[in-house]
């Protein structure tokens, strides 16, 4: 792995360990918000009750914990680079009484599993953060059995994701942050139509299909939106951390004003759009 990839990976580990408390605090909201994306991936995974499943970048546990309940005679491994995020998942697995789940702290590009172990591999919102997307996918393919399904969710274009672009756009307006290179990790790096399907085909997967799934992030007020974003959205929170106090206060008031457009019947509803891609290991 290159020096740059190594340092991005280490940085991701530190950041996600810091944000684990936020993901625990907002677990109910995150579960509801992301469920349609996980459900689409699960549908594409063609699970059986005895399937052996790997969830890469499982973070605080999804979609792996939902899968565990669907494969009562099978098992699920939740893998993530952040021990802190996996600790949240571990607590949830135990609260739900799930006995067929295990945990592995590891990087997506170096999965510590034998070849051809899993009937399905899932990865929800992991590719956005991997320094080496192709190496990570290669590992998913290696550890999948022939005929296994591999499915992923990545964020779609900024225009379909005002939940994030609203604050990122305002941030860019008030700060002079250098434009990151197109290859760098980030919420919209995989959003070009066909990008993920091409990656999957190049990795040798067959029966590859890509589709778009949208839902709303629903929160009760601008204050709770701001708190939510600061607690869970690493890209946004890191950007805000680079702005000075005055800029942060201007960004906050501009964002609150823009949020007015998204108020419906006493709640904020922000569109959230992901690409769901799946393929079969030949
Ligand atoms: C947005 S969270 C997604 C968590 C979960 N899959 C979900 O959808 O709720 C992204 C996760 O990717 C993990 N991650 C980032 N870089 C990684 C890497 N190189 N290898 C493995 N996991 C990584 C982070 O630790 C974090 O838990």
CA of 126 to the centre of ligand 1 (A): 5
pLDDT above 90: residue 173: no
Note whether residue 145 is domain-resident.
Answer: yes
Note whether residue 259 is domain-resident.
Answer: no
Judged by average pLDDT, the poorest of 202-211, 231-240, 264-273 is: 231-240
- The preferred substitution site among 10, 81, 92, 111 for testing ligand 1, maximizing ligand atoms within 8 Å of CB, is 81
Contact 151, 277 (CB under 8 A): yes
CA of 59 to the centre of ligand 1 (A): 5
pLDDT at 128: 95
Q: Which atom of ligand 1 is nearest to the CA of 108?
A: 20
- Over residues 215-240, mean pLDDT: 94
- Over residues 103-119, mean pLDDT: 98
Q: The domain spanning residue 138 has which CATH number? A: 3.40.50.150
- Over residues 41-66, mean pLDDT: 98
pLDDT at 151: 98
Q: Which atom of ligand 1 is nearest to the CA of 55?
A: 6
Indicate the average pLDDT of the chain.
95
Q: Count of domains in the chain?
A: 1
Banded model confidence at residue 4, pLDDT cuts 50, 70, 90: confident
pLDDT above 70: residue 226: yes
Note whether residue 121 is domain-resident.
Answer: yes
pLDDT above 60: residue 71: yes
- Over residues 11-40, mean pLDDT: 97
Q: Which residues pair with 209 in a beta bridge?
A: 278
C-alpha closest to that of 242 among 189, 177, 180: 177
Q: Which atom of ligand 1 is nearest to the CA of 58?
A: 6
- Over residues 62-81, mean pLDDT: 98
Banded model confidence at residue 84, pLDDT cuts 50, 70, 90: very high
Three-state secondary structure readout of the chain: CCHHHHHHHHHHHHHHHHHHHHHHHCHHHHHHHHHHHHHHHHHHHCCCCCCEEEEECCCCCCCHHHHHHHCCCCEEEEEECCHHHHHHHHHHHHHCCCCCEEEEECCCCCCCCCCCCEEEEEEECCCCCCCCHHHHHHHHHHHEEEEEEEEEEEECCHHHCHHHHHHHHHHHHHCCCCCCCCCCCCCCCCCCCCHHHHHHHHCCCEEEEEEEEEEEEEECCHHHHHHHHHHHCHHHHHHHHHCCHHHHHHHHHHHHHHHHHHEECCEEEEEEEEEEEEEECC
- The preferred substitution site among 38, 57, 58 for testing ligand 1, maximizing ligand atoms within 8 Å of CB, is 57
Note whether residue 57 is domain-resident.
Answer: yes
pLDDT at 174: 86
Note whether residue 55 is domain-resident.
Answer: yes
* Structure tokens belonging to residue 190: 């995989």
pLDDT at 262: 97
C-alpha 28/C-alpha 20 separation (Å) is 14
Note whether residue 21 is domain-resident.
Answer: yes
CA of 277 to the centre of ligand 1 (A): 17
Domain interval for residue 88: 3-157+182-214+274-280
Does 172 or 267 have the greater pLDDT score? 267
Identify the residue whose C-alpha is closest to ligand 1 atom 9: 62
- Over residues 33-53, mean pLDDT: 98
Note whether residue 239 is domain-resident.
Answer: no
Note whether residue 167 is domain-resident.
Answer: no
Identify the residue whose C-alpha is closest to ligand 1 atom 27: 59
Protein residues with CB under 6 Å of any ligand 1 atom:
9, 12, 16, 34, 57-60, 62, 80-82, 85, 107-108, 124-126, 129-130
- Over residues 147-160, mean pLDDT: 97
* Centroid of chain to Cα 241: 21
pLDDT above 60: residue 22: yes
- Over residues 8-31, mean pLDDT: 96
Q: Encode 187-199: b = buried (16+ Cβ within 10 Å), e = exposed.
A: bbbbbeeebbbeb
Which DSSP string corresponds to 93-136? HHHTT--SEEEEE--TTS--S-TT-EEEEEEES-TTT-S-HHHH
pLDDT at 1: 61
């Amino acid at each position: 792995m290159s020096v740059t990839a190594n340092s991005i990976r280490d940085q991701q580990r530190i950041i996600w360990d810091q944000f684990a408390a936020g993901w625990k605090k907002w677990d109910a909201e995150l579960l509801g918000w992301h469920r349609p994306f996980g459900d689409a991936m699960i549908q594409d995974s063609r699970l059986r009750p005895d399937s052996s499943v790997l969830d890469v970048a499982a973070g605080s546990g999804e979609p792996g914990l939902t899968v565990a309940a669907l494969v009562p005679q099978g098992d699920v491994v939740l893998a993530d680079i952040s021990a802190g995020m996996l600790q949240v998942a571990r607590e949830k697995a135990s609260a739900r009484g799930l006995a067929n789940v295990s945990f592995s702290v590891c990087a997506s590009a170096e999965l510590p599993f034998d070849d051809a172990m899993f009937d399905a591999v899932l990865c929800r919102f992991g590719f956005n953060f991997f320094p080496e997307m192709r190496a990570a996918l290669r590992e998913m393919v290696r550890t999948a059995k022939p005929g296994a399904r591999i499915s992923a969710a990545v964020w779609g274009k900024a225009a379909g994701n005002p939940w994030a672009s609203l604050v990122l756009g305002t941030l860019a307006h008030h700060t002079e942050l250098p434009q990151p290179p197109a290859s760098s990790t980030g919420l919209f790096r995989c959003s070009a139509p066909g990008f993920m399907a091409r990656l999957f085909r190049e990795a040798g997967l067959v029966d590859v299909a890509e589709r778009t799934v949208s839902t709303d992030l629903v929160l009760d007020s601008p204050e709770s939106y701001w708190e939510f974003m600061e607690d869970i959205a690493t890209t946004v929170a890191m950007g805000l951390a680079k702005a000075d106090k005055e800029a942060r206060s201007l960004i906050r008031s501009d964002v609150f004003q823009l949020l007015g457009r998204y108020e419906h019947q006493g709640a904020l509803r922000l569109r959230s759009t992901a690409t769901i891609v799946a393929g079969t290991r030949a």
